Structure 1
Amino acid sequence: MRIPMMSVACKQVQPLVSFQGGGFQAELNMEAFFRRKDKVVFVIGPTGTGKSRLAIDLATRFPSEIINSDKMQVYKGLEIATNKVTDEECRGVPHHLLGIAEPHSNFSAADFCLHASSAIKSILDRGKLPIIAGGSNSYIDALLNDHDHDHDHDQRSQFRRQYECCFLWVDVSLPVLNAFVSERVDRMVAAGLIDEVRRMFDPAADYSRGIRRAIGVPELDELFGAEARGASKKTRDRLLQLAIEKIKVNTCLLARRQLQKIHRLHPQWCWNVHRLDATEAFLKRHRHQDADEAWEKLVAEPANMIVGEFHYGEEIAAMVPSTTTAGACAGPVLSSPVSIAAVAGATR
């Protein structure tokens, strides 16, 4: 269950450019060839793996600001359904691109490139490290490749010529992650997910645009339609349980698709990718053991060492104990394929 919103903890940074649904056009900057590259950290991974937590952990240890790269969290509203970080969870760390787009607009990958590029520049101008965190790999791929998927990926894009990038890949075994996201859906329901989505119900809604694409919105349409028609309590209860099961299954399928896309894109990012296996921390949480200690040992501390070396130079390695085997281009074999039936079973 989400912690109640606090009034002063999290600073949401306003976008430097107004959202008008425009595109992103990069211009070649020859200065980038002759100066030391600025650095950007990416925190990637499937939904539910703790990307936001790790990004905030890092931002409390390094002078950093966070740029959201989640397709649904970029929209205003549906804080529970989109699992936005609360003010309390932000721990005072400034966040960009979080809840900036109107719910009915269509915030494209080109829009993300435009806003993210402006945010990166503003963060660097303040002498801080940009940390881009979120599960929308298409946004990240568009940013890295200047929103041009037709060019030869062996030729570095303008973004990668300008910036040096470090990727932290938070990974969790799919069966373990499936169980966790199922439990998370139950917590979201207990926190008010149904009423939150009900408030924006529209029988004529277009579920292909804006925030209505978020998992949890289309799945509840049949329930709310039945309520509007005066269906019996028995029918409403049945439709509610079916909707919750659909939300769980679709969230698990999303996690699988995101992981598969990371494996497809991983070779393109191979110059500085570090995989952090958080499975044991999630297992301990499920067993009601000391999950925070496991998270710190397996994820936060190794990430701190990696980012420290990346940000400050190799000499930092002599000052920080090595607690990770995750190295550049470390990549596991893709988890075994999971059928829809298996995913549905894992969510029960």
Structure 2
Amino acid sequence: MNISTSACACACACKQELPLVSFQKGSLMMESLFHHRNNSNKDKVVVIMGATGAGKTKLAIDVAKHFQPAEIVNSDKMQVYKGLDITTNKVTEEECGGVPHHLLGTVDPYINFSANDFCRYATLAIDSIVEKNGLPIIAGGSNSYLDALVNHYPEFRLRYQCCFLWVDVALPVLHSSLQARVDRMIEAGQVNDVRDFFDPSVTDYTKGIRRAIGVPEFDDFLRAEANGRLDERTKQRLLQAAIARLKINNCTLANRQIQKIHRLHAFWKRNMHRLDATEVFRGSRDAWRDHVLAKTLIILHKFLYGEKKTPHVVPAGIVSAKDVIAAAAVLSSPPVAMAATR
């Protein structure tokens, strides 16, 4: 299998080599924190999951900047492939903020990268992070990958303990956001992204990156364009139909992902934490900090340190001590029922 890094254990640092550790002024020095183990003598891994467009990437990067040194292992089955960066919505170099990523844009786009492949290469990446005293953060929307790794891959299960963070958004709000995201991706050049990849001699959209939402939807339009016999009005009709299908398929994917997360909750409920990001998408200015990030930091502080008290040192520029204390109050309230997802 063609994986363009040394056994995928070297970080794919967002399209160019970035420093493995980028300490911020005032940040908490973690020392050998991440090798503090639980009673079963396992190293610790953070897993961030959720539907497409819910904010998993943002949370992963925020967490990585807080608990330095940390590195992110991508678990999105389309983002592992090279190419189609707009269509697969890969994180940009600027958004990475210097945080190294593994399994991001490294796999030959014409092959099938299976769940077993993911388990093998993700475990290699996690091993390499732990060897450097780093915190591994797995983030992505492909729950079949996570299921295979955490529930069925012995090399991982025997060595690692996970804390699962579920970034959730009320479905009507998420659907609206996904449709708006499609419009932004079209404006950013998604049609050209797919056009450059399009091959009129290929009709099979069941392998590799061709399975990605946003590729098969444009087939009719791109074939008509390549044919050159249709008038502009007809081509525009085909383009708008493709965009409409793209919006529907994104919403359908989000529904399936949330259903899968509910099923996985039966396995992971003792270690799974739901983070409601709905107010973030409704435009609340401080909702990300108050409803998502502050609560996340309290959860992870307890997971990594094994202590219930709030940390005395809070990294500058991420969240204030007041926010962390407020989050502790949130955590002391009754948990939100899993059925609360709308």
Q: TM-score, normalised by structure 1?
A: 0.80
Cα offset for 1:294? 1.0
* Residue 236 (structure 1) aligns with: 235
1:222-275: per-residue Cα shift (whole Å, max 9, x none)? Answer: 001111121110000000000000000000000000000000111101221100
For 1:334 and 1:257, how far apart are their aligned partners in 2? Answer: 16
The 5-angstrom pairing of residues 1-348 of structure 1 reads 14-16=5-7, 36-63=41-68, 64-147=70-153, 159-205=156-202, 206-230=204-228, 231-284=230-283, 290=285, 293-317=286-310, 319=312, 320-323=324-327, 325=330, 331-333=337-339, 335=341
User: Which deviates the most, 225-234 or 85-94?
Assistant: 225-234
How much does 1:161 deviate? Answer: 3.4
Call closer, same or farther: CA 1:119–1:229 in 2, change over 3 Å.
Answer: same
Structure-1 residue corresponding to 2:26: none
In the TM superposition, residue 307 of structure 1 has moved relative to its aligned partner by 1.0
Residue type matched to 1:172 in 2?
Answer: V
Paired amino acid for 1:211: I
Q: Does structure 2 retain, via aligned residues, the 8 Å contact 1:203–1:225?
A: yes
* Conservation of the 8 A alpha-carbon contact between 2:80 and 2:105: yes
Asked if structure 2 preserves the Cα contact closer than 8 Å seen for 1:80 and 1:191, the reply is yes
Give identity over the alignment, percent. 53
Q: Equivalents in 1 of 2:95, 2:243: separation in Å? A: 26
Deviations 1:34-60 (A, max 9, x none): 862100000000000000000000000
**Residues of 1 paired with 2:135 and 2:311: CA distance?**
22
Structure 2: how far apart are the matches of 1:119 and 1:169? 22
CA distance in 1, matches of 2:311, 2:125: 32
Q: Which moved more, 1:298-307 or 1:171-180?
A: 298-307
The one-letter amino acid paired with 2:120 is L
Q: By how many angstroms is 1:204 displaced?
A: 3.0
- SS of the residue corresponding to residue 240 of structure 1 reads helix
Is the CA contact (8 Å cut-off) linking 2:8 and 2:102 kept in structure 1? no
Counterpart of 1:216 in 2: which secondary structure?
coil
Q: Does the Cα contact within 8 Å between 2:301 and 2:311 map onto a contact in 1? A: no
Q: CA deviation at 1:17?
A: 5.0
Deviation (angstroms), 1:14: 3.2
Return closer, same or farther for 1:331/1:112 CA change in 2, 3 Å cut-off.
Answer: farther
In structure 1, give the amino acid aligned to 2:92. T
Q: Which runs of 4+ in 1 moved over 4 A?
A: 32-35, 326-331
Q: Evaluate the alpha carbon distance shift between residue 33 and residue 167 of structure 1 in structure 2; reply closer, same or farther with a 3 A threshold.
A: closer
Q: CA RMSD in A?
A: 2.2
- 1:159: how far off? 2.9
Give, as a single letter, the amino acid of the residue that structure 1 aligns with 2:195: R
8 Å CA contact 1:274–1:329 kept in 2: the answer is: no
Name the amino acid aligned to 2:54. Answer: T
Alpha-carbon separation, structure 1, partners of 2:335 and 2:108: 38
**Alpha-carbon distance in 2 for matches of 1:326, 1:121:** 31
Bigger Cα displacement from structure 2, 245-254 vs 322-331: 322-331
Q: CA deviation at 1:16?
A: 2.7
How many pairs were matched up?
296
Q: Structure 2 counterpart of 1:222, which letter?
A: D
- The alignment partner of 1:166 has SS state of strand
Q: Following the alignment from structure 1 to structure 2, what is the Cα–Cα distance between the partners of residues 209 and 186? A: 26
CA-CA distance at 1:90 after TM superposition: 0.2
Supply the distance in 1 between the matched residues of 2:292 and 2:55 (Cα, whole angstroms): 10
Q: Distance in 2 between matches of 1:329 and 1:118?
A: 35
Structure 1: which 5+ runs fail to align? 1-12, 19-31, 148-156, 337-348
| 1:284-316 alpha-carbon deviations (Å, 9 max, x no partner) | 1xxxx52xx211111111111111111122154
Please say if residues 170 and 275 of structure 1, whose CA atoms lie closer than 8 Å, have aligned partners that are also in contact. Answer: yes
CA contact (8 A) 1:275 1:331 kept: no
Residue aligned with 1:105, SS: coil
Question: Which ranges of structure 2 fall in alignment gaps of 5 or more residues?
Answer: 10-36, 313-323
Task: Give how far 1:88 is off.
Answer: 0.3
